[in-house]
């Protein structure tokens, strides 16, 4: 099932992946191909089991038959190295999670590869066809990943420097493997499976202990010249502010990350260990809690507003790990975005919020493998 698709086949798969089920004629028009060519390519993909006919649409003339990706034409395993135990899921081509389990996290790549290899049979146990049609493994981690999606250039969390993790897992498990940064993996997942399917340019801002960010530009994940695109966490947001672990001062990370919020709370004498608790304190009128959330929310909103000004994305997706986003913090973020965006564009950029858990990261990881199956590695 690793069969490489021809470039026309991939174009077709891509357009369906973006727009959902389409008739042959619609696709021919979208791709600028003749009906004759479309007919042939569609036939090939149906024979390969990648596409299948879905509903029939009646209008004037002969009804059209919509083609869609066959969700069970390929399966993917996704693993998130963001928590311990590490979630490990099996997903189909719709991003639906078919099976899940967990594996112990390690800092030793070899041990990780071993754990994955041992976990695979159990994950696939009850799904014989997934076993047969397993297309690849995706791994999401916190850190920098090179553009081949094979090497982890640097990860503070895992203590890595130039680790060829994909190769190690591939050799150990015998399955094609790709790795990706966590925020970028979620962005790909949203593009393939989620709310960004039809949006060509959007950004994901992922809020957790740290702050991550990824950009899709003109339908492609944009990594930047040195792989550093999306380093919103170290945008200076409070010039001359608190020192950051990166070496400079006033980074967004020092103000708006969950870690920073909790640290500041502790320093201010609040007995809170989670965002929800701080939110609760704020709702009861605790001035310190209100101040902290205001400061963090304004900073994040300002950074996002600047991102909108710079790049004019078609959507911003804010993912957050803890608590909810409908308290004071979320309100302030949204307000700050509105007040710092050109009035002309205010409200023009949809801001979506999504609470994520381990499954979302793992699904994001799986989507990296799915992307390689659908679009190909040279993201062309």
Q: Which residues bind a copy of itself (CB under 8 A)?
A: 199-201, 213, 215, 217-218, 220, 222-232, 234-236, 239, 246-248, 298, 302, 305-307, 309-314, 339-345, 348-349
As a whole number of Å, the end-to-end CA separation of the chain is 20
CB of 44 to DNA, least distance (A): 9
The yes or no reply on residue 343 touching DNA (CB under 7 A) is no
Give the residue with the Cβ less far from a copy of itself, 69 or 251.
Answer: 251
d(Cα 372, Cα 135) in Å, to the nearest integer? 9
- Contact of residue 61 among DNA, a copy of itself, none (CB under 5-8 Å per partner type): DNA
Give the residue with the Cβ less far from a copy of itself, 231 or 268.
Answer: 231
Give the residue with the Cβ less far from DNA, 7 or 309.
Answer: 7
CB of 12 to DNA, least distance (A): 10
Residue 322: name the closest of 265, 288, 281, 277 by CA: 277
The yes or no reply on residue 284 touching DNA (CB under 7 A) is no
DSSP 252-295: THHHHSHHHHHHHHHHTT---SSHHHHHHHHHTT-HHHHHHHHH
Question: Mask of contacts with DNA, 297-316, x by CB under 7 A?
Answer: --------------------
Q: Using an 8 Å Cβ cutoff, are 145 and 151 in contact?
A: yes
d(Cα 167, Cα 169) in Å, to the nearest integer? 6
The yes or no reply on residue 42 touching DNA (CB under 7 A) is yes
Which residue, chain included where needed, has tokens 């916190």?
A: 142
Most distant CA pair in the chain, distance: 73
Give the list of residues 6+ apart from residue 141 with CB closer than 8 angstroms, or none.
80, 81, 82, 152, 155, 157, 158, 165, 179, 180, 181, 182
Region near DNA per CB under 7 A, out of 58-66, 258-266, 321-329, 342-350: 58-66
d(Cα 174, Cα 124) in Å, to the nearest integer? 15
- Contact of residue 56 among a copy of itself, DNA, none (CB under 5-8 Å per partner type): DNA
Give the residue with the Cβ less far from a copy of itself, 62 or 344.
Answer: 344
The yes or no reply on residue 34 touching DNA (CB under 7 A) is yes
Give the residue with the Cβ less far from a copy of itself, 139 or 233.
Answer: 233
DSSP class of residue 380 equals -
- Contact of residue 355 among a copy of itself, DNA, none (CB under 5-8 Å per partner type): none
Give the residue with the Cβ less far from DNA, 38 or 158.
Answer: 38
Give the residue with the Cβ less far from a copy of itself, 100 or 295.
Answer: 295
Q: If 0-12 CB within 10 Å is exposed, 13-18 middle and 19+ buried, where does residue 314 land?
A: middle
d(Cα 160, Cα 144) in Å, to the nearest integer? 10
The one among 16, 41, 93, 275 contacting DNA by CB under 7 A? 41
Give the list of residues 6+ apart from residue 74 with CB closer than 8 angstroms, or none.
1, 50, 92, 93, 133, 134, 135, 370, 373
CB of 71 to DNA, least distance (A): 20
The yes or no reply on residue 380 touching DNA (CB under 7 A) is no
- The kind and range of the H/E element at 48 are helix 35-48
CB of 52 to DNA, least distance (A): 13
Give the residue with the Cβ less far from DNA, 24 or 262.
Answer: 24
Give the residue with the Cβ less far from a copy of itself, 98 or 229.
Answer: 229
The one among 1, 54, 64, 314 contacting DNA by CB under 7 A? 64
d(Cα 144, Cα 228) in Å, to the nearest integer? 8
Q: Using an 8 Å Cβ cutoff, are 213 and 231 in contact?
A: yes
Region near DNA per CB under 7 A, out of 60-68, 81-89, 213-221, 250-258: 60-68
Residues that bind DNA (CB under 7 A): 6-8, 23-26, 32-43, 56, 58-65
């Amino acid at each position: 099932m690793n069969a490489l698709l021809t470039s026309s086949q991939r174009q077709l798969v891509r357009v369906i992946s973006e727009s959902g089920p389409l008739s042959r004629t619609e696709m021919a028009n979208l791709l600028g191909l003749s009906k004759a060519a479309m007919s042939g390519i569609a036939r090939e993909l149906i024979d390969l089991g990648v596409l299948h006919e879905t509903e029939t649409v009646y209008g004037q003339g002969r009804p059209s038959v919509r083609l869609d990706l066959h969700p069970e034409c390929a399966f993917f395993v996704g693993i998130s190295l963001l928590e311990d135990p590490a979630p490990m899921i099996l997903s189909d081509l719709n991003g639906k999670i078919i099976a899940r389990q967990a594996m112990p996290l390690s800092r030793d790549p070899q041990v990780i590869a071993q754990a994955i290899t041992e976990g695979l049979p159990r994950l696939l146990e009850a799904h014989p066809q997934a076993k047969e049609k397993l297309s690849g493994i995706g791994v999401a981690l916190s850190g920098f990943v090179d553009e081949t999606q094979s090497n982890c250039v640097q990860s503070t969390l895992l203590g890595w420097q130039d680790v060829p993790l994909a190769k190690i897992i591939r050799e150990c498990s015998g399955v094609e493997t790709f790795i990706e940064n966590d925020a970028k993996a979620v962005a790909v997942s949203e593009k393939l499976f989620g709310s960004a399917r039809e949006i060509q340019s959007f950004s994901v801002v992922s809020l957790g202990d740290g702050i991550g960010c990824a950009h899709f530009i003109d339908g492609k994940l944009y990594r930047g010249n040195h792989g550093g695109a999306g380093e919103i966490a170290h945008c200076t947001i409070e010039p001359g502010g608190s020192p950051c672990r990166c070496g400079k001062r006033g980074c967004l990370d020092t103000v708006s990350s969950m870690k920073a919020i909790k640290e500041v709370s502790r320093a201010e004498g609040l007995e809170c260990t989670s965002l929800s608790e701080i939110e609760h304190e704020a709702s009861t009128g605790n001035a310190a809690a209100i101040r902290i959330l205001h400061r963090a929310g304004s900073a994040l909103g300002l950074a996002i507003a600047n991102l909108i000004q710079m790049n004019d994305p078609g959507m911003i997706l804010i993912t957050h790990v803890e608590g909810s986003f409908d308290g004071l913090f979320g309100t302030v973020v949204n307000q700050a975005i509105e007040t710092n965006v050109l009035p002309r564009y205010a409200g023009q950029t949809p801001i979506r919020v999504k609470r994520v858990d381990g499954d979302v990261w793992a699904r994001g990881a799986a989507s990296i493998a799915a992307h390689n199956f659908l679009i190909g590695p040279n993201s062309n």
